[in-house]
Amino acid sequence: MRAGTFHIITFGCQMNVHDSQWLTAALEKQGYSRTAMEEAQLVIINTCSVRQKPEEKVRSALGRIKTATCGSRDVCVAICGCVAQQLGKKLFEYSPQVRLVAGTDGIAAMPQTLLELLEAPAKKLVLLDFAPAYVERPQLEIGGASAFVAIMQGCDNFCAYCIVPFTRGRQKSRQEHEILEECGRRLARGAREITLLGQNVNAWGKDNGQGSFAGLLRKIAALPGLERLHYITPHPKDMTAEDARVFGELPVLCPRLHLPLQSGSDKVLAAMRRRYSSREYLDLVETLKNARPDIALSTDIIVGFPGESEADFLATLELLRKCSFVSSFSFCYSDRPGARAALFPHKIPPALQQDRLLRFQAMQEEITEKWLAGRVGQKALVLLEGKSPRQADGQESWQGRDEYGAIVHVPVNEAFAGQMIACRIEAARRHSLVGRQEG
Ligand code: SAH
Ligand code: SF4
Ligand code: F3S
């Protein structure tokens, strides 16, 4: 163990990745340095509870920490994020090394609290209260070509399967001037791409009487230096015609949208409390395609929701075909404590869930491959992220994403992360593209 060092383990969505980035910058500002788990004085686990067995993941992370640090009581472990919010003080029983449990609104206070704990080795603390409004954090100088900027926290939708409203609390929109200021700071420090984050971004502003989400996008798109704008996650029921239209108006708004469908069956959608029908979803896709014909859509799907019949599942496959999603995340439904669907009858046996998942994924693979093959010969602008995992002899290969969010490998010499290069797509692999630098 080295004094003044920390290590962070991150599970879950981009919101957690963003929270961990902020924690890293905040601890570095306090003079702490990042290190391997074996050497760290402070280990933070940023947790996710959205699907199956999250508690087990936390236990196994704690086991790894114990082994790596020989169970030293001088090592302070902090658990934050959604599982921390959900299980609270119970987590102290998981390991004597755990000394801080911080929920999703407690993250802002973590750097200061951790310092207190390191000075008082017998102390244990919790930060579990939900705040009444969006919790601003001290602005830190964070660099990098790609920036995450949170615009809201929490969710009011209570989809029947979902634990997020319980772990992230009610929707709290961030003040517009704070959002614009953070975007401006990141751009001034070299960001070229901004991804706006929230559990239900199109509902931004509704809870505290601010303007519309599309209006916010227009203001951010006008900031000098911004080249690419994305957002996650939208909810189809809150996506207005104007939200769709801006894809045709704002050149920096990338033609890529992750639009969770969950199911193609109206019966299942109603039971999930998604509050849109398959027809409404298809109409929205059409409006988006009218605004931006080349828009690449991706989605989230849950198979084996309680009561899902073969016909319901086929309706999901039908929507996949009609929408031609370029990619998707698909999951077997799992019960989450507190979420309504945990109490629903007619649970689908795991083997049948798995069978549907594989059938869905096989169809998705075909559609993805077709879309990637269709890109061959096209131009692409690639924002480089790092070296490709596979390197051929001779020239180095770097990878990045194009404007549609596809991974493109490009052979280049002397590249750097954050560089934007113009390419011509030369080949398609199963899940990525290969480009050649042009110009
Ligand atoms: N706020 C986002 C993300 C929610 S969690 C949204 O509304 O889309 C990310 C995905 O996990 C969901 O879209 C859903 O497909 C999946 N998911 C959530 N709860 C689940 C559960 N109980 N079982 C299986 N998948 C689930
Ligand atoms: Fe969960 Fe639904 Fe909210 Fe998404 S919109 S976070 S799926 S409750
Ligand atoms: Fe997981 Fe919480 Fe994100 S449950 S998906 S970390 S909002």
pLDDT at res. 305: 98
Q: What is the mean pLDDT of residues 172-194?
A: 97
Residues constituting the chain: 439
pLDDT at res. 111: 96
Inter-residue contact 298 to 328 (CB < 8 Å): yes
Inter-residue contact 201 to 172 (CB < 8 Å): no
Asked whether residue 334 carries a pLDDT value surpassing 80, the answer given is yes
The 3-state DSSP class for residue 59 equals helix
Q: What is the mean pLDDT of residues 394-412?
A: 94
What's the rounded Cα separation, in Å, for the pair 115 and 62? 21
pLDDT at res. 415: 87
Nearest to 307 by CA among 360, 349, 347, 261: 347
Q: Which ligand is closest to the CA of 199, given by its number?
A: 1
Tens digit of each residue's pLDDT (9 = 90 or more) over 119-144 = 998 899 999 999 999 999 998 988 89
Q: What percent of the chain has pLDDT over 90?
A: 92
Best residue for ligand 3 mutational test, from 48, 166, 199 (most atoms within 8 Å of Cβ): 48
Helix 310-323 to helix 278-291 angle (10° resolution) is: 10
Q: What is the mean pLDDT of residues 76-87?
A: 97
Q: Measured between alpha carbons, how far is residue 424 from residues 350, 374, 394, 416 in Å?
A: 44, 13, 20, 19
Mean pLDDT of the chain: 96
Nearest to 220 by CA among 258, 240, 191: 191
Handedness of CA 105, 110, 113, 117 (dihedral sign): positive
pLDDT at res. 207: 95
* Nearest atom of ligand 3 to the alpha carbon of 14: 3
How remote is the CA of residue 260 from the centroid of ligand 2, in Å?
10
How remote is the CA of residue 341 from the centroid of ligand 1, in Å?
13
* Nearest atom of ligand 3 to the alpha carbon of 47: 6
pTM of the model: 0.96
What's the rounded Cα separation, in Å, for the pair 331 and 340? 18
* Nearest atom of ligand 2 to the alpha carbon of 235: 5
pLDDT at res. 186: 96
**How many other CB atoms are there within 10 angstroms of residue 373's CB atom?**
12
User: 37 is written with which tokens?
Assistant: 């788990």
* Nearest atom of ligand 1 to the alpha carbon of 163: 19
**341 φ, ψ to 5°?**
-65, -20
Asked whether residue 409 carries a pLDDT value surpassing 90, the answer given is yes
Q: Which ligand is closest to the CA of 16, given by its number?
A: 3
Asked whether residue 413 carries a pLDDT value surpassing 90, the answer given is no
Lowest mean pLDDT among 97-111, 218-232, 344-358, 388-402: 388-402
How remote is the CA of residue 162 from the centroid of ligand 1, in Å?
6
User: 433 is written with which tokens?
Assistant: 């593209």
What's the rounded Cα separation, in Å, for the pair 229 and 254? 6
Asked whether residue 394 carries a pLDDT value surpassing 80, the answer given is no
